[in-house]
Amino acid sequence: MILPLSPAGAPSRPLFVVRPEALEAWMSGQPAHVGAWLRGTGFAAASGDLRLLPGADGAPTGAVIGHGTAAQRLRTRFALAPAARLPEGDWHLEGELSEAERDEAVLAFLLGAYRFTRYRDQPTPGARLKLPEGSEYLVPVAEGEWLTRDLINTPASDMGPEELEAATAALARRHGAMLAVTQGDDLRNGFPMIHAVGHGSERAPRLLDMRWGSAGPTLTLVGKGVCFDTGGLDIKPSASMLLMKKDMGGAATVLGLAHAIMALKLPIRLRVLIPAVENAVSGRAFRPKDILTSRKGLTVEVNNTDAEGRLVLADALAYAAEEGADLTISMATLTGAARVAVGPDLAPYFTDDAGVSSALDAAAAQVRDPVWRLPFWEPYEAMIEPGIADLDNAPAGGMAGAITAALFLRRFAGDRYVHFDIYGHQPADAPGRPKGGVGQGARAILQALPDLLGI
């Protein structure tokens, strides 16, 4: 995670951020040939429009990027991300920006510079940004997002349960955290549903348990780590498997968030639980109509082996609840129903706590990380009760799938619980978000933690 940041003391060229209504006044303060150049090229300070500024000899002396109208800024997150495409060298921000706008510009630059280069050499941006004073806290935020993207983008051939454990161990070593791992058949008694889902693969399932911090309120993050999901014996069609390397997006997102929390040294006690499995097809795979007994003792009828994420999360949530926490958050690429409801951009979440919802919504707006609350709708509880067992992992009918999945998880979680049903994938290139893996909800949670935990 080497972010494009200027070394201390390096000379830098200005990157001016200009709104359309202030463009003429700004150009009047520039050399005449700069104004002529911008007018001649049709520069109108539209959102994300980037132009180099020529010196008298034609060499670029700086750059200008449009901040756009208020309507444009509402429609486009990280509109200033194209600044990461500036020529190689060091740059600094200039312009009439509020603190929030300045921070958004910095984050847009850092996120816009991300490239996934593990398997293919490709040009990487050479521009480096000089951090404005007061924006240093954004470095761990951007590093966490880069980590999340790298983990999701890595194919399952190189990101199975063992490799996800290695990535977690590397993060723990970096921050002095403790990591405990329960693996393979050792899961059978204590975490029977994690074992059942992962037992069908030759790649041993495991539960990762990372702890950091010795004082302060407690936060437990639980991330779905299904490193590849064939659907199991209820096998997915091939087209539906094409994105299944991202089915560990919940784990990747909580690890990115954990990095930011630990790097910022927030005064909390953090615990991260990741059930890491591969849902494979084999003679050992769990079957439709099997009844599993969970860690909590609740029995679960398996009516679809492709609804495995809630099974592994349930055991992890039950384990978390035994110790308790001031706040527990699960993150998972869990249901297609959530995507149908809100599309790929929004991260829907569930909570019974209006105070938690208020804090998350306010924080999301501040950091341009959109979230949307969905209900734990009590009348649908009957839909997850099959009669032959305590719970049904895949109710028939196909309606309210995101809600019934969330209700299922709530049966295993402790008090003050929030569940995020994220997508973890950017379908097409957008400013600051290249096509591929992407974090969702993590920045909103990080911003809200002072309110949520009283720190």
Burial of residue 423 (CB within 10 Å: 0-12, 13-18, 19+) is buried
Task: Give the H or E element holding residue 253.
Answer: helix 249-263
User: Are residues 359 and 448 in contact, defined by beta-carbon separation less than 8 angstroms?
Assistant: yes
Q: How many CA atoms lie within 13 A of 191 on its CB side?
A: 32
User: Tokens at residue 58, please?
Assistant: 């034609």
Is 246 among the catalytic positions?
Answer: no
In the three-class reduction of DSSP (H, G, I as helix; E, B as strand; rest coil), residue 276 is classed as strand
* Residues shown for the chain: 455
Tokens 């002396």, residue? 61
Q: Which amino acid belongs to residue 350? A: F
Rounded Cα–Cα distance for residues 393 and 288 (Å): 10
**How far is CA 285 from its chain centroid?**
30
Question: Which of 148, 43, 76 has the alpha carbon at shortest distance from 431?
Answer: 76
Rounded Cα–Cα distance for residues 243 and 245 (Å): 6
Q: Given the residues 115, 203, 236, 416, select the one marked as catalytic.
A: 236
User: Tokens at residue 94, please?
Assistant: 């200039």
User: Tokens at residue 302, please?
Assistant: 């398996």
Rounded Cα–Cα distance for residues 40 and 138 (Å): 37
In the three-class reduction of DSSP (H, G, I as helix; E, B as strand; rest coil), residue 448 is classed as helix
Q: Given the residues 310, 410, 411, 433, select the one marked as catalytic.
A: 310
Rounded Cα–Cα distance for residues 370 and 330 (Å): 17
Is 236 among the catalytic positions?
Answer: yes
Question: Which of 135, 136, 167, 137 has the alpha carbon at shortest distance from 150?
Answer: 167
The catalytic residue positions are 236, 310
